[in-house]
Amino acid sequence: MNHSTSQELFQRALQVIPGGVNSPVRAFRAVGGSPVFIKSARGAYIFDEDGNRYIELINSWGPMILGHAHPVVQEAIVRAVEDSFSFGAPTRKEIEMAELICSMVPSVEKVRMVNSGTEACMSAIRVARGYTGRNKIIKFEGCYHGHGDSFLIAAGSGAVTMGTPDSPGVTQGVANDTLIAPYNNLAAVEALIEANPDQIAAIIVEPVVGNMGCVLPQKGFLEGLRTLCDKHGIVYIFDEVMTGFRLSQGGAQKIFNICPDITTMGKIIGGGLPVGAYGGKKEIMDCVSPAGKVYQAGTLSGNPIAMSAGIATLRYLNEHPEIYEQVNQHTRQITEGIRKALKNNGLNFTINEMGSMYSLFFTEKPVTDFESAKTSDTAMFAFYFREMLARGVYLAPSQFESLFVSAALSEADLQHIEQAHAEVLAMVAERMAVVHK
Ligand code: HOZ
């Protein structure tokens, strides 16, 4: 594959953008080589500036569940553009969006729109602090809730990919207020609560983790957190930025039948445009200004174009519940293909999957938390990534990210992915045999 235009563009980008990218994982540093620059995308495919076509398994890190440039969403955006782009004043569409979210997500009674998942999570913990009058929060090692200061402690996603899970620039004071527990470890959470009586405002968790690769909650973990929050007056926050409207119409909370106090959202609710939201119990959400005293604002919040794309996507998902069976079936077919290739080549790597999210970890250990995720052979992952890219399959350029499958894949695409895995995992097995000789 020729990547010369992408390489030229990267050199140009390096002169004017830090690291040449506007979000670190895009730089391909963990997988080697330089990033491909994307020109366009449609359905199941993404096209780079050199004219190469790839089958999409990232889908903009989640939002494009229907595939790229879905005609229904595209039409909604085009129609909205005719009425201008931003008003900084209330619109009918914001109410429609809020009504849709409240009707689809079981725990959400009121919701505030923002512009990203980061903003949603930052705002959610501010509200939790305002509501409880407490300062500390508990987050889980390897979970990522955007780049707000409080979350860049033991953070997953790009932070771990770049080797900076504790970022410079976060003050000691902020770090002191963020307590860390291993994912799936209720006893550790209990110990933190006991050591900090009446000081914990919130526990924030990815109900299914996407940011240390895909990691599933063990039976009783999410329920146990609910019980602990109830017992100690702690606000329970589900970060459903990735899982919301992806694992089901009502997100992970509907599947696990758990009612968090606040839910943060993003990705799919923007249909690919920059959107986030946080919502939950009326009593808590009414702390937000101007109903209450916790301040949070934004010129572009509830932007009409973004609302139009999000509303069109959510309505489509509501009217076509079969989409969920489709994306889940595609994912099962992909992971079955990987399992077959692993078996044929005597490899025993771990696959975690739920709905249309999955990760292949280059470790034989079960991956249930950050420690076990880190046992992955990231150099071998990098080799796998590059070989899959060379075969026209676009994966997340890091071991510590989930993949997101869309409804747009055809049977031929799925077979192509299976064939690519058969070839690449055979090469992986050969390399491993050489290494272990
Ligand atoms: N895990 C990140 C999305 N929540 C990856 C995208 C990014 O950081 O650019």
β-pair type (110-114, 53-56): unpaired
Give which of 399, 96, 108 is closest to 281, Cα–Cα: 108
For residue 266, with 0-12 CB atoms within 10 Å meaning exposed, 13-18 middle and 19 or more buried, which class applies?
A: buried
Q: pLDDT, tens digit, for every residue of 132-152? A: 999 999 999 999 999 999 998
Choose one of 17, 60, 61, 239 to mutate for the ligand 1 pocket test, by most ligand atoms within 8 angstroms of C-beta. 61
Helix (H) / strand (E) element for 40: namely strand 38-42
Looking at the CA of residue 401, tell me the nearest atom of ligand 1.
Answer: 1
Task: Give the separation between CA 388 and CA 349, rounded to whole angstroms.
Answer: 17
Instruction: Calculate ∠ Cα 8-14-18, nearest 5°.
Output: 150
Q: At what angle do helices 221-232 and 186-195 cross, to 10 degrees?
A: 20
Q: Is the CB of 59 under 6 A from ligand 1?
A: no
Cα(121) to ligand 1 centroid in Å equals 14
Choose one of 157, 242, 395 to mutate for the ligand 1 pocket test, by most ligand atoms within 8 angstroms of C-beta. 157
- The CATH class of the 4-68+322-435 domain is alpha beta
CATH for 71-319 is 3.40.640.10
CA-proximal residue: ligand 1, atom 1 (nearest): 157
Cβ partners under 8 Å of residue 218, min gap 6: 184, 368
Cα(61) to ligand 1 centroid in Å equals 6
Map residue 434 onto helix, strand or coil.
helix
Q: pLDDT, tens digit, for every residue of 169-217? A: 989 888 899 999 999 999 999 999 999 999 999 999 999 999 999 999 9
Cα(170) to ligand 1 centroid in Å equals 19
Residue 62 corresponds to which tokens in the numbers above?
């989640």
> What is the signed CA dihedral for 235, 246, 368, 192, rounded to 10 degrees?
-10
Task: Give the separation between CA 398 and CA 400, rounded to whole angstroms.
Answer: 5
**What integer pLDDT is reported at residue 435 of this predicted model?**
72
Q: Judge whether residue 4 has pLDDT over 70.
A: yes
Give which of 161, 97, 149 is closest to 118, Cα–Cα: 149
Q: Is the CB of 61 under 6 A from ligand 1?
A: yes
239 is catalytic: yes
User: Which segments of 241-294 does DSSP mark as H helices, in order?
Assistant: 251-256, 282-285
Q: Is the CB of 206 under 6 A from ligand 1?
A: no
Cα(162) to ligand 1 centroid in Å equals 12
Q: Is the CB of 243 under 6 A from ligand 1?
A: no
Q: pLDDT, tens digit, for every residue of 336-354? A: 999 999 999 999 999 999 9
Active-site position among 45, 144, 278, 358: 144
Q: Is the CB of 359 under 6 A from ligand 1?
A: no
Spans of all domains in the chain: 4-68+322-435, 71-319
Residue 259, number of CB atoms within 10 A of its CB: 15
| Contact (Cβ atoms closer than 8 angstroms) between residue 385 and residue 36 | no
Residue 257 zone, left/alpha/beta (φ > 0; ψ -120 to 50; rest) = left
Q: Judge whether residue 408 has pLDDT over 80.
A: yes
> What is the signed CA dihedral for 87, 93, 97, 102, rounded to 10 degrees?
110
- The mean per-residue pLDDT over the stretch 101-114 comes to 97
Per-residue pLDDT band for 118 (boundaries 50, 70, 90) equals very high
Q: Is the CB of 23 under 6 A from ligand 1?
A: yes
CA neighbours closer than 13 Å in the CB half-sphere of residue 124 = 40
Per-residue pLDDT band for 157 (boundaries 50, 70, 90) equals confident
Per-residue pLDDT band for 437 (boundaries 50, 70, 90) equals low
β-pair type (110-114, 276-280): antiparallel
Instruction: Calculate ∠ Cα 301-306-309, nearest 5°.
Output: 150
- The mean per-residue pLDDT over the stretch 160-176 comes to 86
Q: Judge whether residue 319 has pLDDT over 80.
A: yes
Active-site position among 48, 177, 239, 261: 239
144 is catalytic: yes
| Contact (Cβ atoms closer than 8 angstroms) between residue 287 and residue 294 | yes
pTM tops 0.75: yes
Q: Is the CB of 404 under 6 A from ligand 1?
A: no
261 is catalytic: no
For residue 210, with 0-12 CB atoms within 10 Å meaning exposed, 13-18 middle and 19 or more buried, which class applies?
A: buried
